[in-house]
Amino acid sequence: MLDNRVNVNGIRFSPDGQKLGVINQGVSWTIHIWDMKTRTFKPLRAARNEPISSLAFSGDGRYLAMGQRINMGVVDFNTVKDLVDMDLVDLTTGGRRMLQRKEPLSFLLNTSPKVLAVAFSPDSAYLACARGNFDVQIELWNTNTWGLTRTLDTKAVNTDYHPMAYSPDGKYLATEMRKAAIGLWDVATGTLVSTLSEGYGGYIKEIAYSPDSRYLAVAFNKRWSASKAGTEKGFIDIWDTNTGQIFKTIAWDSDSRIGGLSYSPDGKYIAAFLQREDYVRIWDVASGSQAETLRGPVIDSPVVGVAFSPDGKYMAVASEQYIKLYDARKIGKWL
């Protein structure tokens, strides 16, 4: 249980499964870092009281990065140079570092200060930052020097979010591309290796690699011939990254938009939820069939986030003010 000052806007486990980061858009924008052993949390205030779009833990567990969407309507010219591009917290020492471009004013005049997503490479060597509005770019920051290494131009247009994911082996970074496709980038060279698309008509909500890097799950919404007029339906495409072909497509029996997904650490299951439903559906990846349906924290309160812990112990399901923990080791055994 949280409290009435909390409005959960996203959850993510640390790589060792010992911490759960919760984005809170309550009275002020903060991240609650929960200790999974003691079930206590510490609030972490954002550098600016602006919306937090995403959070990411480094692979070694030392750093927490948060991206923010800065509202230019409340920023005057004199404070442009002080805008925080990315807020980085050292969880070991408590120190903070603000990653900024060398020419923030030039950057500001040519694009948007919105940070849509952040992600650490598995070896913690790089921090990827998706930034922009009408022309989204991916910045790769070197965590040894904290310098900007390169920029990947995805040419995507997305004002709300920009999903991306590192492959667990660290070789590739999957990002949304122009025309709602998925681009696979070689991290070492910064080159676009391949593009995956089945003609996605709606926004791509989330992407996630399987633990063995073989498959890439894409959660997306699109108009469907059988859906009601003006509505979009959620789907999950599971791509085989070796062949570049779709291995499986998961479809709901409900005309609602998908909200998010999470791979189980063993790769057997995908947990996903629709935006207006108060429960999570567990899908068997091999068969594409639904294995279980699990309730969210509160009946009639829509689920807003789901995440498996990397150590395989928990599956966290979040509603606006509560987080429910399931024993992930029992999934598939409740039937």
Give every CB contact of residue 244 below 8 A, 6+ residues apart in sequence. Answer: 194, 196
Long-range (24+ apart) CB contacts under 8 A made by 149-156 are 150/190, 152/185, 152/190, 152/192, 154/130, 154/178, 154/183
CB 259 within 8 A of CB 323: no
Distance CA 4, CA 1 (A): 10
Tokens representing 148?
A: 């900007």
How many residues does this entry show for the chain?
A: 335
Instruction: Give the residue from 298, 299, 285 showing the smallest Cα distance to 331.
Output: 285
Q: Which residue matches tokens 């920009």?
A: 162
- Name the residue type at position 58: S
Rg of the chain on CA atoms, in Å? 19
- For position 49, what pLDDT does the model report? 77
- Name the residue type at position 251: A
For the chain, 335 residues long, give each residue's pLDDT as a single digit of tens: 445 566 888 999 999 999 999 998 876 788 999 999 999 999 898 877 778 889 999 999 999 999 887 665 555 555 554 555 678 899 999 899 888 765 555 555 545 567 888 999 999 999 999 887 667 788 899 999 988 888 888 876 655 668 899 999 999 999 988 777 899 999 989 999 999 987 666 678 899 999 999 999 999 887 766 655 457 788 999 999 999 999 999 988 777 888 999 999 999 999 999 988 899 999 999 998 998 999 999 888 999 999 999 999 999 999 988 999 999 998 876 54
Tokens representing 274?
A: 């629709």
pTM as predicted: 0.88
Domains of the chain: 8-330 (2.130.10.10)
- Name the residue type at position 40: T
Instruction: Give the residue from 225, 223, 312, 219 showing the smallest Cα distance to 273.
Output: 219
- For position 1, what pLDDT does the model report? 45
